[in-house]
Every structure is written in structure tokens, then in C-alpha cells.
A and B are shown apart, each in its own frame.
Chain A
Amino acid sequence: MQQKKSKTIATGILIANLLIMLFPPIHLGMAKGSMPMALTFFLGSGLILVLSMVVLRSLDASGTEE
């Protein structure tokens, strides 16, 4: 049950990041002439992805074992 929930969250994270980075209305709307808005999109979307990796790590049952 827990594993299924983790898998669903992981899939959701992948889809959310793909949408944020690739969906044209988002980047075209954010980068249309205002530098603060454009940087918010590029750095913000990057930061969201980095934080997503932190969430994925917390979901990882094996933790840091290699």
C-alpha cells in the first residue's frame, strides 16, 4: 500500500515537473519582457525540480544504502 502510494507520488512529481518546464503557456506567459518574471520561471522551475528530488529521496525505501 505504502509502495503504491510512493509510486503514485513519484509519477505525479514527474508529470508536474514536465508540465512546469515544457507547457508553452507557462514559459511564454512568464518570459514576455519582465526580467524578474522570467528569472522567477527559470530559477523557480529549477528549484522546484531540485526540491522534487528531495521528496523523491524521502520516498525511497532503500534510503542512502548503496
Chain B
Amino acid sequence: MDFLIGYGMILAFFVLVIYVMERTHKASDDFSEFAVAGRSFGSWYQTMAFLNTWLPGTIFIAFAGWTAAAGVIGYYVLSYSLLAVLFMYYLADRVFDWGKRHNLKTQSDFVGKRYNSDLVRVIAAIIGVVSIFPWLVLGFQSLGLVFSFLSFGRISPEVAVFVGIAVLAIRQIWTVRMGMRGIVISDMVQGIIAYGLGGLLSVAFIVMLINSDHGFDKLSENFAMLPSFGSDLGPFYYFSIVLTGALGSWCWPDIFVRLFTAKSAQTVKNSAFKAAPLMFLFLAVMLTAAMLAGSMTDVAAAPDQVWFLLASHGGPVVLSLAGICVLAATVGNINALTQAIGVHAAQDIFHVKGGSDHAITRTARIIIAVTTVLAIIGAVLTVSMTAGLLTLALAAYQGIVQLAPSLYLGILWRRPNAAAAALGMIVGIVVAVTLQFLYPVSIPALGGLTSGVVGLICNTVVLVVVSMLSPSRKDEDERVSALFA
């Protein structure tokens, strides 16, 4: 019976999402429609699409698990996520304006236009696609946990991974067919379930924990401490992870494209106004529930399973609802990741010299299908290596943030040129990757700075120095002035 409740709810969830998508489907071969849904969505859709892309299912697993195991340091996701929303407000006008004026569809397209360089465009696309892929595999793995818990012991964890992958592979048919419009519309349904229902469940968990003698007073003093002087991680570790998360936010291709799907720049700003309180409320209650649960013996033994262990105290229906929250967040994220990989690889790598809308859309669809298959193979091969893969995914963050100087300085400052941007990105990536292998977590000799931050500093210095030393070219100055006008 429990099995039927769990898997029945999964079925009902998918039927609901597919029904809503089919109702709003617009058949089209236009690449703008496929990539940015014709820039047609209002602020509520934008808000939910942003949240569903920004907060993947692993928020309930790895991020909640870190908070349950280590305490307040896990709240760093709240800080950098809110800074990302704040940045959305400041980026909205210029990014949307350039995007609409020049029919830009991707982040690489955007930096390519800013620097008038195919090289910069291809480098940005490669960094983006390579950095995203581990997160895609991780997303498929998250599904395994959901399908394992909701089978109530009827299906082994290994088999549950395959079931989850098979179900999502079927779901991907709609992503390949419907492109961005289908993604944004399904994000609305999935977002309400993941963060609305997830937030309500978190409040219930907090009440349950406090009433069952698992209040704040039961947490150890270490739970209220950040790594400081004399610690293994170093005093700048927290600063580094928040800085990397915040600056890296708009470097993720799947996040950046959210700035292009809106109706107007004002829509983007309005979605930032709406996203901030929703994100704050959801993350505050979910992380607090996870931290309080850290004093439970079973959670302390398996912190990554905190969300499911808490829900299991409420019986099969509550556990199933909790699983659906994770599923809703995971599906939205996987859709956004595959779409971003497909569009970037098709337009900014394979068709960088141009092509018909029909050809680029077809290439994007093929790449999405191939990437999905590769990620499924990756997930199957690494079923029991979640921790190692998470390390790889976090390392990818150190790489993606190397787009930040070219992106942000390119928006704020007219001086940077293509050579400076390309050289800065290459130096940043090389430094970050090298240091990441030597110091996977933080660099003790630098007070706990991470590889990504050191790469970022080198990247920025190179970009600024090369920009300042490059001789000014009249035609390029005029082109950039026209872009900024």
C-alpha cells in the first residue's frame, strides 16, 4: 500500500506537469521560440523559472545535509542566493536591452556580441557546457534517492536509480520537443510544488522537532560557528564560497538565459522583487529544519538523507509529498541544464559561424538527446560515487566563475576587449583547475581562499591590465559606444 501511495503520487505529479505543458504547447521551428520562448513571459513565470533553475533537488539533499551535519555554515546558500537575486536587478536593463536589440539567445552569444569575437563566444560556451555536465549527472543521481525512498523498501536503491532515470528520460521527450516555453511553464507547476509545499513541510518539521525535544538548545556550540583563525578551512573560506556562489550565479548559462525569456527588462526586475522574499522564506525554514534535525541520531548518521528521514516521521503520505518536492525541484533543474547545454553547444560551438533556425534548432534537439543519454550513462556508472561527483560539481563552480570578470566588467566598463577577455578566462581557468587539484577544498596558506577565488583574482588582473595596455582602436571604440548607447 505504501509503495502504491509513493509511486502513485509520482505518476500523478508527472501527469499534471505534462497536461499543463500540452495545454500550452506552441508548435514552431523558430530558434528564438525554442531558445528563449519568444521573450514572452511575465514576472511570475520568470520568478518560478528562476527559482526552479536556481534551487535544484539537491538543495533538499546535499545542502540540507551539510546544514544538518555542520550547522550555520550551510546557510551560506541563503546569502549567495539572495545576492544573486540582487544582481538580477542590476543586470536587468543592460542585458535585456542588448539581448532584445541584437536577438541574443545565450550567455555566450551575449559575451560574443559584447567583445565582437567568436573566440570569446566559443570559450564561454565550452566553459559553460563543461561546467554544467557534472550537475546534470548529479541531478539524475538525486532522482535515485527519491525513487528509492518512495518505494518503501520494495525496490533496492540501485534499481530505484534506474527507475528514476527511465522516468525522467521519458519526461525529457517533452523538453526536446517543446524547448524553453515548455520548460518555463512546467517550472511554474514544479516551483509551486517544490518550494511552496516544501516550505510548508519545513515549517511542520520545525514544529515537530521543537515539540520533540530537538530545539536549538540541543545543538552543539560548533553548529553556531564559521571556520575562523586557527581552523582547518581558514577564516576566508566562508567569504570565498559566498563570493564564488554570488559572482558565479549569472555565469551559469541556464541561469543567465532567464534574463532573455522575459517580456521586458522591467519584468526581469519585477521577478527579482518577487524571487527575493520567496527564496528567503523557503531557504530559511528548510535550512532551519535541517539544522535542528542535526541533533537526531539517525540524521547525524546520514545527514544527506535529512529531508526524507524527517518526513518519514509523518507516515507514507508525508514522505511521498516530501519526495515529490525533491522530484519537482530536480526535474525543473535537469530540464534547464539540458536545454542550456543544447542551445549553447548548437548555437555557440557547432553553428558559431551561423546557420538556419531550422538547422540550429535541430542540432540543439540532437545535442539535448545525446547529452541526456550521456548523463544517464554517467549516472549509472557512478551510482555509488555521489560524494566524489559532488566534489566534481563543486569544482565546476570554481571553473564557471571564471566567466565573471569578462561578463560583469564587459557590462559595466567599455574598455575591456576580446583579447583581454579571452586571455583572462584562459588564465583564470588554468589557475583555478591547477589549484583545485592541489587544494580541493581551501588553500591554507591563503587563509582559506578557494581555487576559484584565486583564479578570479588572476583573471581580473589579466583582463584589466591587457585592457589598459591595448592600444585604442577607433572602429572598436565606436562599436562599443553604440552598444552602450
Which A residues contact B (CB, under 8 angstroms)? 10, 14, 17-18, 21-22, 24, 27-28, 31-35, 37-39, 42-43, 45-47, 49-50, 52-54, 56-57, 60, 62, 64-66
Binary A-proximity of B43-86 (CB < 8 A = 1, otherwise 0): 10000000000000000000000000001100100111011011
Let me know if B8 is at the binding interface, CB within 8 A: no
Instruction: Pull 19 A–B residue pairs with CB atoms less than 8 Å apart, ordered by A.
Output: A21-B246, A24-B235, A24-B236, A24-B238, A28-B228, A32-B224, A33-B224, A33-B225, A35-B224, A46-B79, A46-B283, A49-B85, A49-B280, A50-B280, A56-B89, A57-B273, A60-B266, A60-B269, A65-B266
* A11 CB, nearest partner CB in chain B, Å: 9
Let me know if B314 is at the binding interface, CB within 8 A: no
- Asked, given contacts A50-B82, A56-B89, whether A33 binds B221 with beta carbons under 8 Å apart, the answer is yes
Residue contact B224 to A34, C-beta cutoff 8 Å: yes
Residue contact B276 to A53, C-beta cutoff 8 Å: yes
Let me know if B355 is at the binding interface, CB within 8 A: no
Q: Which of B234-280 contact A (CB under 8 A)?
A: 235-236, 238-239, 242-243, 246, 263-264, 266-267, 269-270, 272-273, 276-277, 280
Give the chain A neighbours of B283 by CB distance below 8 A.
Answer: 46
User: Which of A14, A21, A66 is within 8 Å of B79, CB to CB?
Assistant: A21
- Asked, given contacts A46-B284, A49-B82, A66-B264, whether A28 binds B243 with beta carbons under 8 Å apart, the answer is no
Which B residues contact A (CB, under 8 angstroms)? 42-43, 71-72, 75, 78-80, 82-83, 85-86, 89-90, 216, 219, 221-226, 228, 235-236, 238-239, 242-243, 246, 263-264, 266-267, 269-270, 272-273, 276-277, 280, 283-284
* A40 CB, nearest partner CB in chain B, Å: 11
Give the chain B neighbours of A10 by CB distance below 8 A.
Answer: 90
In the bound complex, CA of A46 to CA of B75 (Å): 10
Residue contact A45 to B239, C-beta cutoff 8 Å: no
The chain B residue sitting closest to A49, CB to CB, is: B82
Give the chain A neighbours of B272 by CB distance below 8 A.
Answer: 53
User: Which of B225, B242, B280 is within 8 Å of A22, CB to CB?
Assistant: B242
The chain B residue sitting closest to A53, CB to CB, is: B276
Give the chain B neighbours of A57 by CB distance below 8 A.
Answer: 269, 273
Give the chain A neighbours of B79 by CB distance below 8 A.
Answer: 21, 42, 45-46
Residue contact A21 to B280, C-beta cutoff 8 Å: no
* A12 CB, nearest partner CB in chain B, Å: 13
Residue contact B239 to A24, C-beta cutoff 8 Å: yes
Give the chain A neighbours of B221 by CB distance below 8 A.
Answer: 33
* A52 CB, nearest partner CB in chain B, Å: 7
Give the chain B neighbours of A21 by CB distance below 8 A.
Answer: 79-80, 82-83, 242, 246
In the bound complex, CA of A37 to CA of B72 (Å): 11
In the bound complex, CA of A34 to CA of B225 (Å): 8
Residue contact B235 to A35, C-beta cutoff 8 Å: no
Residue contact B266 to A66, C-beta cutoff 8 Å: yes
- Asked, given contacts A28-B228, A31-B225, A37-B224, whether A42 binds B72 with beta carbons under 8 Å apart, the answer is yes
Residue contact A53 to B89, C-beta cutoff 8 Å: yes
In the bound complex, CA of A43 to CA of B281 (Å): 10
* B360 CB, nearest partner CB in chain A, Å: 29
The chain B residue sitting closest to A39, CB to CB, is: B72
* Closest 3 pairs between A and B when the two form their complex, measured CB to CB: A38-B224, A42-B75, A35-B224
In the bound complex, CA of A1 to CA of B242 (Å): 35
In the bound complex, CA of A39 to CA of B344 (Å): 40
The chain A residue sitting closest to B227, CB to CB, is: A28
Give the chain A neighbours of B225 by CB distance below 8 A.
Answer: 31-33, 38
Give the chain B neighbours of A66 by CB distance below 8 A.
Answer: 42-43, 263-264, 266-267, 270
Residue contact B226 to A53, C-beta cutoff 8 Å: no
In the bound complex, CA of A28 to CA of B228 (Å): 7
Give the chain B neighbours of A35 by CB distance below 8 A.
Answer: 72, 216, 219, 223-224
- Asked, given contacts A31-B72, A66-B263, whether A46 binds B78 with beta carbons under 8 Å apart, the answer is yes
* A29 CB, nearest partner CB in chain B, Å: 9
The chain A residue sitting closest to B243, CB to CB, is: A22
* B79 CB, nearest partner CB in chain A, Å: 5
Residue contact A28 to B235, C-beta cutoff 8 Å: yes
* A17 CB, nearest partner CB in chain B, Å: 6
Give the chain A neighbours of B267 by CB distance below 8 A.
Answer: 66
Residue contact B89 to A31, C-beta cutoff 8 Å: no
| 4 additional contacts (CB under 8 A) given A39-B72, A46-B78, A50-B280 | A24-B235, A28-B226, A38-B71, A66-B266
In the bound complex, CA of A29 to CA of B33 (Å): 50
* B52 CB, nearest partner CB in chain A, Å: 20
Residue contact A43 to B266, C-beta cutoff 8 Å: no
The chain B residue sitting closest to A30, CB to CB, is: B226
In the bound complex, CA of A14 to CA of B264 (Å): 22
User: Which of A17, A24, A45, A64 is within 8 Å of B270, CB to CB?
Assistant: A64
